[in-house]
Amino acid sequence: MFHWLYWLYWLFVSDMFGRMNDGPVLRAYPLTHEALWPTDLFNQGLGWVVIARFKSAGRRVEAGIFLLDVFCLGAKLAVYEDCDVGDYRQRIRDHYKSSFPMVSADPCCARKLVEQAVEYARGLGFAPHPDYKQAARAFRELRTEQCAAQWTFGHQGKPFYRRGPRETEDQARRIVGHLEQHCGPGNYDYLVMLGAAEDINRALGY
């Protein structure tokens, strides 16, 4: 009987402590990570991947946000955010879910996807975005060996470069020239739209 009363008392005290200190955030927070990725990434070849790591008893989040090119360039853009959980939910998670066709993903698989896309691009001679290492802080404690998913990078067995709105014409020509030298004629594909970035944005629907 004493043990039951003690257990009930402990639950009551724990609950009151949580309420006195700004609610459930201070209680045990079971969620350590969450991730989002596109539903059509390997059809489109390009999409955002978001990996969030919760810390400080769930009050704060560090998030890695990656624009991933699975056909050629790997991590074209990487952004690191360290913010409170409310800011993360509104400004990052809800924004990406409402703006792009994204779904929840296993965080270990999301890390594996990003890292393998980066390695594929490195094999072609393309380094990830300069902020990739910082954004990868969100990967901590995620074990890729727990993910059994497998992906095939490139398009129809070849690297496929498509000029995006962030690349100038000169950058696009250099990328194609690099692929020609690295892969050899006929061993890669590309689609390069010429014109200003604003024109490409309109053509691609950005």
Residues 191 and 120 in one domain: no
Considering all CA atoms of the chain, what is the largest pairwise distance in Å, rounded to the nearest integer? 81
Residues 24 and 56 in one domain: no
Residues 102 and 160 in one domain: no
What is the per-residue pLDDT across 27-50, written as a single tens digit (0 to 9) for each? 444 689 999 999 999 999 999 999
The more confidently predicted of residues 134 and 4 is 134
SS3 167: coil
Amino acid occupying residue 32: T
What is the per-residue pLDDT across 135-176, written as a single tens digit (0 to 9) for each? 999 999 999 999 999 999 999 999 999 998 888 889 999 999
In sequence order, the 6+-apart residues with CB closer than 8 A to the CB of 67 are: 46, 47, 48, 75, 76, 77, 78, 129
CA distance linking residue 32 with residue 54, whole number of Å: 5
Confidence at residue 22, expressed as pLDDT on a 0 to 100 scale: 37
Give the pairing of strands 160-162 and 189-191: parallel
Domain that holds residue 127: 33-145
- Give how many domains the chain has, as a whole number: 3
